[in-house]
């Protein structure tokens, strides 16, 4: 399946260029079986080979990430939980995952949208509770753009460095996804603690 997805990414980007890359990132948000851990490093490999320009790939990927997140945000905000749960099988979202994402949102507030963008699986689903909680759209777009930009630059850069071995990125992300989640949680906790302390003084 890995080789099939990789070839599909190459074919899509070859046919549509940067637009194809943006469309792949929109699809990655909506259909998690299309992993950014494959799409982005492969895009980085294509950059290193000269088929794409780094900034073009970065902007296309980030634009696609934000647009895909906005679709999920809109479904949560104007469709509500009942719509998500009714058609969640299309989005690979079940009640357990949605409850977990809503728990993160209640615990950490709007900032979880930023930090969840660097955590596999969570990076897509977190857009839904942001919508159901009526998070201000501007705030959502800003945090999603920053988080997506960091993730995209990291994985595209890794693909450029690894070259023909770009597929190793997926193994690395899979091995360290739990560590990333822990680090992101600690960073959020420290940030919120400092923010609360400063507001209190």
Report how far residue 199's alpha carbon sits from residue 67's, in angstroms, rounded to the nearest whole number: 33
Please state the separation of Cα 165 from the chain's center in Å: 22
Report how far residue 3's alpha carbon sits from residue 87's, in angstroms, rounded to the nearest whole number: 29
State the pTM of this model.
Answer: 0.76
Q: Is 176 helix (H, G, I), strand (E, B) or coil?
A: helix
Label residue 191 by pLDDT band (50, 70, 90). low
Helix axis angle, 54-74 to 137-162, nearest 10°: 140
Per-residue pLDDT tens digits for 74-121: 988 887 777 777 766 666 676 777 777 777 777 777 777 887 787 766
**First vs last Cα of the chain: how many Å apart?**
55
Is 11's pLDDT higher than 50?
yes
Label residue 70 by pLDDT band (50, 70, 90). very high
* Domain ranges, ordered by start, for the chain: 2-200
């Amino acid at each position: 399946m890995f080789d099939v997805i990789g070839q599909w990414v190459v074919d899509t980007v070859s046919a549509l260029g940067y637009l194809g890359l943006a469309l792949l990132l929109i699809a990655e948000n909506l259909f998690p079986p299309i992993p950014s851990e494959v799409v982005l490093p492969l895009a980085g490999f294509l950059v290193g080979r000269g088929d794409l320009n780094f900034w073009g790939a970065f902007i296309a990927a980030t634009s696609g990430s934000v647009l895909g997140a906005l679709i999920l945000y809109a479904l949560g905000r104007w469709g509500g939980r009942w719509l998500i749960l009714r058609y969640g099988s299309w989005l690979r979202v079940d009640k357990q995952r949605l409850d977990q994402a809503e728990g993160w949102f209640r615990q950490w507030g709007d900032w979880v949208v930023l930090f969840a963008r660097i955590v596999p699986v969570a990076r897509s689903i977190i857009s839904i509770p942001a919508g159901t909680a009526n998070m201000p759209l501007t705030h959502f777009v800003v945090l999603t753009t920053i988080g997506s930009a960091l993730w995209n630059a990291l994985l595209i850069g890794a693909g450029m460095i690894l070259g023909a071995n770009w597929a190793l990125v997926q193994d690395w992300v899979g091995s360290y996804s739990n560590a990333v989640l822990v680090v992101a949680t600690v960073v959020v906790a420290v940030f919120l603690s400092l923010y609360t302390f400063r507001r209190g003084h």
